[in-house]
Amino acid sequence: MKKSSKEKKIISLEKFHRTKLIGSVCGFITALILVISNGILETDTPLWLVIPLAIMIIPFIVCFAFIISWSAGKEIENHDELSMHNLNKAHSQIFAGFSGLISVALIISFFWDKPVTVNIDGNLFFIFVMGLYAMYNAFESGLFLCNEKKMSIESGQEDE
């Protein structure tokens, strides 16, 4: 029986999370470059400064777009009980990490005496939120893959 052209190819969870990790890291690097260059690039910015920034950012944008378009044409295999456990473990590790970062930021802000002024426009806010989203996805996929690897190593040692 032939597959119709509308059927999507099923990919493994490991391959999906690997590509999602690469795409999210590319998205995060893109957002980071945009945040850094936000104050530099103005309408009267010389071309000798714009071209290197564009050359730096274009490969990450192309990689991010390629991975999104590639994964859109695929169907991901369903989570089993073990993979759901590893995904939940990754989410709890992310929550613990972000909670630790917020705690450190609160402690530093408690002892910080000097005022800090930050001008946030709509463009910078969007870039910042997209960077956080990409970072969260990268951590989710990376920790999921680490937990999967640990579980496979532990199960391999139990079999011996």
Instruction: For the chain, 160 residues long, give each residue's pLDDT as a single digit of tens.
Output: 455 556 667 888 888 889 888 988 888 888 888 777 766 666 666 777 777 777 888 888 888 888 888 877 778 888 888 889 988 999 999 999 999 999 999 999 888 888 878 778 877 888 888 888 889 999 999 999 998 888 877 777 665 5
pTM of the model: 0.75
Q: Which structural domain, as residue segments, surrounds residue 136?
A: 12-151
The total number of structural domains that make up the chain: 1
Residue 43 within any structural domain of the chain = yes
Residue 100 belongs to some domain of the structure: yes
Q: Is residue 3 part of a domain?
A: no
Q: What is the largest CA-CA distance in the chain?
A: 72
Residue (of 124, 111, 130, 6) closest to 68 by Cα position? 130
Rounded CA-CA distance 151/127 in Å is: 36
Residue 77 lies inside a defined structural domain of this protein = yes
- Any domain includes 2: no
Residue 50 domain-assigned (yes or no): yes
Q: How crowded is residue 91: how many other Cβ atoms within 10 Å of its Cβ?
A: 15
Task: Determine, yes or no, domain membership for 159.
Answer: no
